[in-house]
Structure 1
Amino acid sequence: MHSLRWSDLQYVLAVANEGSLSAAARALGVNHSTVLRRLEAFEYRHKIRVFHKLSAGYKLTVEGQQLLESALVVESTVKALEHKIFGQEMKLEGTLRLTTTDALSRLVLSTHLAAFHQLYPKIQLELSLTSRRLDISHLDADVAIRPASELPETLVGSKLCKITFGVYGAPDYINSLQGKHPIESAAWLVMFQGSASLQISNLISQEKILMKADSFEPLVMAAENKMGLAYLPCFVGDDSRSLQKVDIDIQHQSIDLWIMTHKDLQSSARVKVFLDFMKEAIRGDLNRLSGFVK
């Protein structure tokens, strides 16, 4: 009987999660042939067929599904151990993984991250820019700075401020709507998801939504090109020299901005010093994020 190796199970999990060798290779940061070689070696060593190779990708066999269920338990145990080890690290050096949105990174956090680097040059930052909430509980990230309606129960953190939203459009487009009610007559540019986007989406008919995006950046560009009105955080809309805020009374035009980490990581020196630094640094941006100044 051959002993199982966690490194082998990681390849099996990656192919099961991603559905193809190429996607699994990208997720693991290796090449396609490495994934294939490790998978074939695993099946040969343990005399088990884990996947059916289909034209649409790799599908788990019955035996593979049973193996996956056990592998997920192992993964959860390993991740929990990684959390505890990382949380006990006291050196102000090493990697710190931060997730935030592209708009916050470009317009708010970039100068603060540069200042943080000057103070702690041995801490290497890995930045993941996405509107999708990464799963901190599985170590996709160590710290998140992002909007949320509430703090997930597995995380700890602080509410930094409220991000206020508004409706923005190119002046020529806004002028073309004169005499008409913008909510009823305009074409709209909104985010795919998020509580703030749901607020505006509930006020307008679906046929009036011209474009949805997973980032505010394409919405800004579309609005600047007179495609419609965009529902944007004020710090994003006010940053554009080509857009003008539309005076529309919309209730609940804000969402909380949080900085958060996993409970097991809050005692890590790297995490703690970053949280303390960023909570203080972002104070100077509160008025802009709240929509009071440009």
Structure 2
Amino acid sequence: MDDCEEHLCNNERMEKWDDMRLVLEVVRAGSLTEAAARLKVSHATLSRRIAGFEARSGRRLFDRQRSGVVPTPEGRAVAEAALRMEDAADRLDRLMAAGDHRLEGPITFTAPQLLMETHLNRICGRFLDAHPGIELTVLASNDMLNLAKREADVALRVTAKPPDTLVGQRLCPQRTGIFGRRDYVERLRSPGNRRADWIGFTWWGGVPPRCRTIWPDARLHMRFDDMVAARAAIADGLGIGRMPYFLGNATPGLVPVPELGSEDYPDVWLLTHRDLRRVDRLLTFRRFVADAMRAVRPAFVGPVDRAADAAPTDAGAASA
């Protein structure tokens, strides 16, 4: 085979692999429209590519129905083969990264936005001061990014049970408490007051029974689907509401309402993929973050004095 023929053969293989990936994404998405959005191509382009692959292979890969597309047995077989190839490529990528022992280079770190705001931005800043050769990218999100696909190298996650494919450590337990703005809480406790305005969440139900026991005219004042917006409403003095202690303790002007008690909340974990656990720069980063987070652990499980809480944060930086 001459060089030209070999080049054409390689191009055909690459085109076939690209087509197989498209089939896999359509099977995952369940529709051409959703798959096209994920792939960032037009619906017409994706439909044309799938039709071309079917014509070249002589096999129908999808049944078109009014509700969407359903893979045929041949289509499912192509998707399963593409998934195996994708997993092998991801595995190779992780193994190549595992051989990098430099204390410099890129790290992609994902963590919830509110934890970045209250604690992790300062911790990451101190880490970069100590390791100026590191290029840190932060994905501040609650989305469960896929570490097997290197969407992130290290993840700080709030979870009761991390995935089996990840390794790491539990940084601290968590609890939630009831918080309100200081002047609002003072009015709540004024003699004869029977009303409390409850700021709730779409996933956390209505006014707690204990709240109605203390304030019989308590009402569900507002309900949010987002912790950032709910915290802002509570900080604006619109009512009281439940939030993780780390968040209430870190928000200026908020004070706990201890008579309403506290509840367990999922733990904080620091995780990476098992294939990357010995990459030196990731290991150094994880140890630094873990040491710093341990220093502020009391803020995650109960009310703290903010002046007293500032010192352990700095002490954690020194020990790290």
Q: TM range, normalised to the smaller chain? A: 0.7 to 0.9
Question: Please, what TM-score do these two structures have when normalized by structure 1?
Answer: 0.75
Work out which of the residue numbers 228, 252, 257 in structure 2 matches 1:217.
228
Deviation at 1:266, TM superposition (A): 0.4
Hey, what does 1:148 align to over in structure 2?
A: 159
Pairing of 1:19-34 with structure 2 (within 5 A): 19=30, 23-24=34-35, 27-28=38-39, 30-32=40-42
Listed one character per residue, the Cα deviations across residues 79-113 of structure 1 (whole Å, up to 9, x for unaligned) are 33333222222233443222210111111111222
Aligned equivalents of 1:203, 1:49: Cα separation in 2: 61
SS in 2 for 1:169: strand
Tell me, in whole angstroms, the C-alpha distance in 2 between the residues paired with 1:150 and 1:112. 25
- For 1:148, give the aligned amino acid: T
Q: Aligned residue for 2:140?
A: 129
Asked if residue 292 in structure 1 is aligned to residue 304 in structure 2, the reply is yes
Change (3 A) 1:167 1:64: same
Matched, 1:14 2:9: no
C-alpha displacement of 1:167 = 0.7
- Contact 1:191–1:216 (CA under 8 A) maintained in structure 2: no
Indicate the residue corresponding to 2:3 in structure 1: none
Structure 2 gaps of 5+ residues are 1-8, 213-218, 307-320
Alpha-carbon spacing, 1:66–1:208, altered in 2? closer, same or farther (3 Å): farther
- Aligned runs of 1:81-230 on 2, under 5 Å? 81-171=92-182, 174=185, 175=187, 186-190=197-201, 192=203, 210-213=222-225, 215-230=226-241
Q: Which moved more, 1:153-162 or 1:223-232?
A: 223-232
Q: Matched residues in 1 for 2:98 and 2:298: separation?
A: 34
Q: State the alpha-carbon separation in 2 of the partners of residues 54 and 203 from structure 1.
A: 53
Compared CA separation, residues 256 and 293, structure 1 to 2 (3 A): farther
C-alpha distance 191-83 of structure 1, shift in aligned 2 (>3 A): farther
CA distance in 2, matches of 1:116, 1:38: 47
| Corresponding residue number in structure 1 for 2:314 | none
Residues 87, 264 of structure 1: 8 Å contact kept: yes
How far apart, CA to CA, are the structure 2 residues paired with 1:203 and 1:261? 40
TM-score norm. by structure 2 comes to: 0.70
Which structure is richer in relative contact order (CA contacts within 8 A, separation 6 or more)?
Answer: 1
- Distance in structure 1 (CA, Å) of the matches to 2:223 and 2:63: 39
Structure 2 residue 75 is matched with structure 1 residue 64: yes
| Partners of 2:23 and 2:78 within 8 A in 1 | no
CA separation in 2, counterparts of 1:204 and 1:135?
40
**Structure-2 change in CA distance of 1:62 and 1:157 (3 Å):** same
Name the % identity: 26
- 2-structure distance, mates of 1:132, 1:83: 21
How many residue pairs match? The answer is 284
Whole-Å separation in 1 of the counterparts to 2:220 and 2:248 = 20
Asked which structure has the greater CA Rg, the reply is 2
C-alpha displacement at 1:217, in angstroms? 0.9
Give the distance between the partners of 2:289 and 2:35, measured in 1 at CA: 34
- 1:243 paired to 2:254: yes
**Equivalent in 283, 286, 289 of residue 275 of structure 1:** 286
CA distance in 1: counterparts of 2:275 and 2:121, whole angstroms: 27
Write the deviation string for residues 180-213 of structure 1: whole angstroms up to 9, x where unpaired.
Answer: 888xx65342374xxxx69x989899x9595242
CA positional deviation for 1:234: 2.0
Q: Distance in 2 between matches of 1:191 and 1:88?
A: 46
> What is the SS of the residue equivalent to 2:250?
coil
What is the deviation of 1:249? 4.6
